[in-house]
Structure 1
Amino acid sequence: YPHDVDKSNRRQFVQYIHQNNSTLRAIGAMCAQRIPETANYEANPHVAAIVNFNLDALLQTYIYARYHKRLVRTVERASAAPIKDKISVYQMHGYLAFGNQKGDSTVEAADAAVLTEQDYFDFFNQPNSLFNFTFLYLMREYPCCFIGLSMQDDNIRRLLHYSKKEQYNGLKSKGKGQPDTWRRQLMRHFVILEHTGDGPIDRAIEDTLRPLGVNVLWIKGFDEIPQRLGELYATTGDSWADVFE
């Protein structure tokens, strides 16, 4: 979008996203829930958190412009505490503001930006850092859906491995059930991936993600993502049309 987003052009910005980024539009809709018998929205209580690997706050900007309310809370550093009734958006690789907030150190987390390969190695070499700890916590407590990731990143795969191993050992120590039952219980995460066009390769991808507790939701093209997320949203009894249209 070529302009700063403010009150005067929010409608145009929302239209731009609707026309050019259906994935962002759908993720934003997942964060909203319409208040019955009103035109107002609140944060979707069925979404615990979002982990954002981008540096910008395009998602947050869109949600505010579309739903006229700050449904999410940007957590860009340890001092930014979550807020009740808002969905926390954890900016894993830092946060750079654009427009009139550019360079504002009270808003940005430019010092935490992960831009180089060396930064990336250092970032994941801090097991007790806010974001590594939070990522592990979220994977332990909630089913996660990965969108826009190839799942080939060794660091993310390692965290998935640690999370599943911890839960498996916990179930084993209780001594109830059988290993096959535990493994089925631990297949609780999902990733949306586009078909490669080669059946054996698709199956190989599934085989490498299964030990990490990740199920693959295959799509033919990324334009299918809104439909997939809409089906998930509707399982709670809420109307997808109320938040997506």
Structure 2
Amino acid sequence: MCNFNFDDLVEEAFLTIGVEPAVATPIENCQPKHNGVTVFHPHGMLPRFDRDLELDNSRIVFSEDDYHNLYSDPYSWANIVQLSLLTSFSVLFIGLSMQDPNLRRLIDLSRSKGFRNQHFAVFCDPTKHVPVSERSQQLRIRQMIELDLKSLGVTPWFIDDYEQVTDILKSIAVPYEAN
């Protein structure tokens, strides 16, 4: 799992169901668990606990300059991790605008090298919950999003509200088996 958020809420959610994930950040690289869950934080992480230690040592991609540095370093840990995930798995993007130029470059690079893994992105449907008078404009926006993402090889999934993300995750989840 790749998490661009700086928090450790995903890890905490796994712990509540009895799954201890491995965590990989630019400063805490780890060996992914083959039969377990690994959460990659390519932009760094600020855990809720042990904050003092983490704040002194963390490399967080937060500012525009940080993003530019990441974009200009094709061999950075973050870029290699993302490219590895894009070429090894089908990816489901949730909560991203899909406008990050570095991510788009990495998706495009993986496809140009012959990797054809199907990727998906979840968006709230811009045509829902809008007045009829604005619906045609929102439909054009939705069509533009679809065309843009399909040019990258990413299939958009439009949902009516974010509660549907839970249903999507449950429908694609693979049961976890602890060793």
Residue 98 of structure 2 is aligned to residue 151 of structure 1: yes
Q: Which residue is equivalent to 2:52?
A: 103
Partners of 1:209 and 1:51 in 2: how far apart?
Answer: 19
Q: Which residue is equivalent to 2:122?
A: 192
Scaled by the length of structure 1, the TM-score of the pair is 0.62
Give the deviation of 1:124 after TM superposition.
2.1
Counterparts of residues 35-184 of structure 1 (less than 5 Å) = 50-64=1-15, 66-70=16-20, 72-77=21-26, 79-84=28-33, 85-99=35-49, 101-105=50-54, 110-167=57-114
Partners of 1:153 and 1:141 in 2: how far apart?
Answer: 21
Write out per-residue CA displacement over residues 186-243 of structure 1, whole angstroms, 9 at most, x where no aligned residue. 361000111111212111111011111100111011111111222223xx6x59xxxx
Give the deviation of 1:86 after TM superposition.
2.7
Partners of 2:140 and 2:117 in 1: how far apart?
Answer: 21
The CA RMSD measured in Å over matched residues stands at: 2.1
Give the deviation of 1:83 after TM superposition.
4.4
Aligned match for 2:165, one of 225, 232, 237: 225
Q: Are the structure 2 counterparts of residues 148 and 141 from structure 1 closer, same or farther at C-alpha, using a change threshold of 3 Å?
A: same
Write out per-residue CA displacement over residues 100-158 of structure 1, whole angstroms, 9 at most, x where no aligned residue. x11125xx684311121111111222111112011111111111100110112222111
Structure 1 segments unaligned to the other structure (5+ residues): 1-49, 169-185, 240-245
Give the deviation of 1:69 after TM superposition.
3.7
Q: Are the structure 2 counterparts of residues 193 and 109 from structure 1 closer, same or farther at C-alpha, using a change threshold of 3 Å?
A: farther
Q: Are the structure 2 counterparts of residues 95 and 206 from structure 1 closer, same or farther at C-alpha, using a change threshold of 3 Å?
A: same
Q: Which has the larger radius of gyration?
A: 1
Percent of aligned positions that are identical? 26
Q: Which amino acid aligns with 1:127?
A: P
Q: Are the structure 2 counterparts of residues 154 and 96 from structure 1 closer, same or farther at C-alpha, using a change threshold of 3 Å?
A: same
Give 3-state SS (helix, strand or coil) of 2:67's partner: helix
Scaled by the length of structure 2, the TM-score of the pair is 0.83
Partners of 2:117 and 2:147 in 1: how far apart?
Answer: 12
